[in-house]
Structure formats: C-alpha cells, structure tokens
Structure 1
Amino acid sequence: MKTLLTITALVFLTVAATAGQPFKAEKGSKITVAGTSTMHDWTMVSEEIQVDASIAEGGATIDGLKLVVPVTTLKSHKSGMDDNAYKALKSDKNPQIIFNLKTSQSKGASLLQGSGQLTIAGVTKDISLDGKLEALANGKYKITGSYTLDMEAYKVEPPSFMFGTVNTGKEVTISYEIILSK
C-alpha cells in the first residue's frame, strides 16, 4: 500500500512539474493602439492590462492566456480624443477589450503562432496572430507582437472630430509588450 501511495505521489508531482506554470503581467507591460486620421497619426496606450497566462515547460509555447484591457485605461493624452474613442468602443456597455488565446505553436527561434478570440465593443471574432516569446532573467518571459484589424468588423464606427472634418481610418494596429512573472 505504501508503495502504491509513493508511486501515485511521484506521478502526481511529475505531472504537476511538467504542466504550464501560471504567470501574471508585470509593471511595464503595455498595449498600444495606433491608427491614422485625415489630420495626423495617433496612438493610445494602456499600461493597466490584466493577464493570466500559462507558459509550457521549457518556454516553447503558451498553454493559455487571457488578456483584459479596461477600455478607459487607453490614453492618448488628448481627453477629447479619448472620450470619442471610449464612445466608439461603447465602453459604457462593454468596458473591457478581451483576448483569450486558445492555441499556440512554436515556429522556431522564439516565434509563435497563436489563435484565439478577441472581443471588442461586445463583438467576438476568431483571430490568428504571430508573436515572439522570449525567456528573460529570473524566470520571467516577454511576449511581443502586433495585430491589425478593421474596426468596422467589430461594429466600431471610426471616430470623427470637429463636426466630421477629421476622420480616423478604419484600420488600427494593436501592439503588445507583456512581461510575465510568476
């Protein structure tokens, strides 16, 4: 009986040791949304992102990841632009942008291809994206990459300003730099 318990404990510990390790976003992680307008290019940044991730043993792939960006944490340093963006993103009814990674696979040399679901303004779409997963010192990891999307696919009307004389482009690029630690 003792032998059976010992074997069971060893199997459990081996499985637990090889399972993905849980990580959270560290200070310094950020999401940047960049776009164009008829007047000038613009960016909004959030450094208040929430991430729960699981990195595969050895750091080759990401077993799971959920990223949440509170819409009103995206800032351009222009309050009028921020307010128009929050309205376009329907932040009163959909206060978060959410990405749930479903699968990832290594493409060699720390490059990853992943797929998941992105929810913006209450609309969820399946997406595929490429990124980079780098091992850092002290058991930390850094995930970087970008994804370009059409705002209208998420039922987001590109904001306009100054009574419609300044219009934003319908495509935006979301860039991410996420530092993960246990």
Structure 2
Amino acid sequence: MNTLHYRPVNPVKRAAWLLIALMAGLIASTQQAAAQTAYVAAGGSQITVSGTSTLHDWSMQATSFDVQGNFLLKNGQVADLNSLAFTLPVSNLKSKESSMDSRAYKALNEKEFPKMTFKLKDATVSAQLHSIKATGTLTIAGVSKEVILEASYTVNGDETITCKLTEPIKMSDYGVKAPTMMMGTIKTGDALTIDIVLKLKKSTSIAQSNQ
C-alpha cells in the first residue's frame, strides 16, 4: 500500500507565485488601458430636450458640449469603454424663443448649477448588437441620480464613432419645477425626452502627447 506524504508549501514560494500572478494581472490591465484611445466630441453632435405643455410641444437643442471617453476598438467594432464623461453648459440649450430659454434656465437654477454632467461607472458593450449599456451618474440642477443609458453605435471607416440614444426622464426626479408661462395659464409637463447624437473623434491632444 502506497503512503501519501504531505509536503507543506514553502510560504516564501507561495508568496512569490502570488506576487507574480498579481504583477501579470496588473500588466495585462495596464496594456488594455494603454490600447484604448481617447475620443472627444466632433462637429455634428447634438443634444435635444423635448417636452410638452398645455399649449404645444417644445424642444431645446445644444450643439456645443464637452465629451471625453476612452474606447477600445477591435476589428472595426467597439470592444470596451473604459471611461466616458460629458458636460453640458445649461445656457447652451436653446429653443426658438428666448423667453422660453430664460424660464428653462431659471427652473434649472442655472446660476447656481450652470452645468449638467454624466460620468460613467460601468459599461457593457455588445459588438454583435452594436450597442453600449452605460451605467453612470447623471447630475441635473445639482441633483445626482444613477441611470442606465442604452446607446447604439457605429464605427465609421475613419474610426470616428457615432452613438445615438434616447432617455426619458422626469423633471421632478431632479427637483426641477416645471416652468409656467402667461401667469401660470400655460404649464409644461413633467416628462422630458433627451435625444443624444454623439459624433466622436480621436483626441488630437492625446495623440500628440503620446508621440
């Protein structure tokens, strides 16, 4: 009958193997992060906020805002999204009527909270569905909420990226009181729809700093 002998693992060797495994993991994650490319907003990007009122539907658009994200592309598709943040100055939202703009800015407390922001926490990318599910923090009028944004994307031949999404929100969720007009006889609805078209290009400043 064979007798099995237990050989205790040398604690020094065990620590060495753990250190090697840890370093390998760090190197792999660093290489993946380094392979990602910084992208910024390009011309043609637009955010549209639409709503209703007791008189007629309305909308406001912004074509100037800041977007920064790190994307990893493989085989002409988005393979990973490491970070994404956008900042929209409230005053960049414009309608066809300046009086409506001023009421919207007042409702959003633009003087105290001049910017709307989104910061990514986690992203799930599907190359097959050409979709990105982004979980992050949306801040409006100083109130922050965790939201899940689902966008479709297209990687163009020049490696620019176009993302499109539609997100319904309620003003009351962010402590915003719906604006009124004509001594309160015209009231806007609480529900809003945010349509976003992001056209992203590689950041030239990042590219230059890496040369």
Q: Which residue of 2 aligns with 1:153?
A: 173
2:68–2:85 Cα contact (<8 Å) kept = yes
Q: Gaps spanning 5+ residues in structure 1: where?
A: 1-10
Would you identify which runs of 4 or more consecutive aligned residues in structure 1 move more than 2 Å?
16-19
Q: For 1:161 and 1:62, how far apart are their aligned partners in 2?
A: 43
Q: Which residue of 1 aligns with 2:72?
A: 56
Residue 70 (structure 1) aligned to one of 78, 82, 89: 89
Aligned CA-pair RMSD: 1.7
List per-residue Cα deviations over 1:33-66 (Å, max 9, x = no partner): 0000011111100001110011123213422110
Matched, 1:105 2:88: no
Q: TM-score under structure 1 normalisation?
A: 0.89
Q: For 1:137 and 1:161, how far apart are their aligned partners in 2?
A: 48
2:54–2:188 Cα contact (<8 Å) kept = yes
Residue 76 of structure 1 aligns with an amino acid whose one-letter code is S
Q: For 1:16 and 1:153, how far apart are their aligned partners in 2?
A: 37
Deviates more, 1:116-125 or 1:100-109: 100-109
Q: For 1:99 and 1:127, how far apart are their aligned partners in 2?
A: 9
Q: For 1:144 and 1:45, how far apart are their aligned partners in 2?
A: 15
Q: Which residue of 1 aligns with 2:191?
A: 171
List per-residue Cα deviations over 1:15-34 (Å, max 9, x = no partner): 16863210000011010000
Q: For 1:37 and 1:56, how far apart are their aligned partners in 2?
A: 42
Pick the structure with greater CA Rg.
2
Q: Which residue of 2 aligns with 1:26?
A: 42
Corresponding residue pairs, total: 171
1:56–1:62 Cα contact (<8 Å) kept = yes
Q: For 2:46 and 2:99, how far apart are their aligned partners in 1?
A: 22
What SS does structure 2 have at the residue aligned with 1:97? strand
Q: Which residue of 2 aligns with 1:133?
A: 153
**Residue 177 of structure 1: CA displacement?**
0.2
List per-residue Cα deviations over 1:109-164 (Å, max 9, x = no partner): 20121110000000000001211121012110011101111101100001011110
Residue 55 of structure 2 aligns with an amino acid whose one-letter code is M
Residue 62 of structure 2 aligns with an amino acid whose one-letter code is S
The structure whose residues are more often strand, as a share, is 1
- After superposition, the Cα gap between the structure-2 partners of 1:153 and 1:16, relative to the gap in structure 1 and judged at 3 Å, is closer
1:25–1:179 Cα contact (<8 Å) kept = yes
Q: Which residue of 1 aligns with 2:18?
A: none
Residue 139 (structure 2) aligned to one of 105, 111, 119: 119
1:60–1:110 Cα contact (<8 Å) kept = no
2:81–2:125 Cα contact (<8 Å) kept = no
Residue 95 of structure 2 aligns with an amino acid whose one-letter code is S
Residue 89 of structure 1 aligns with an amino acid whose one-letter code is L
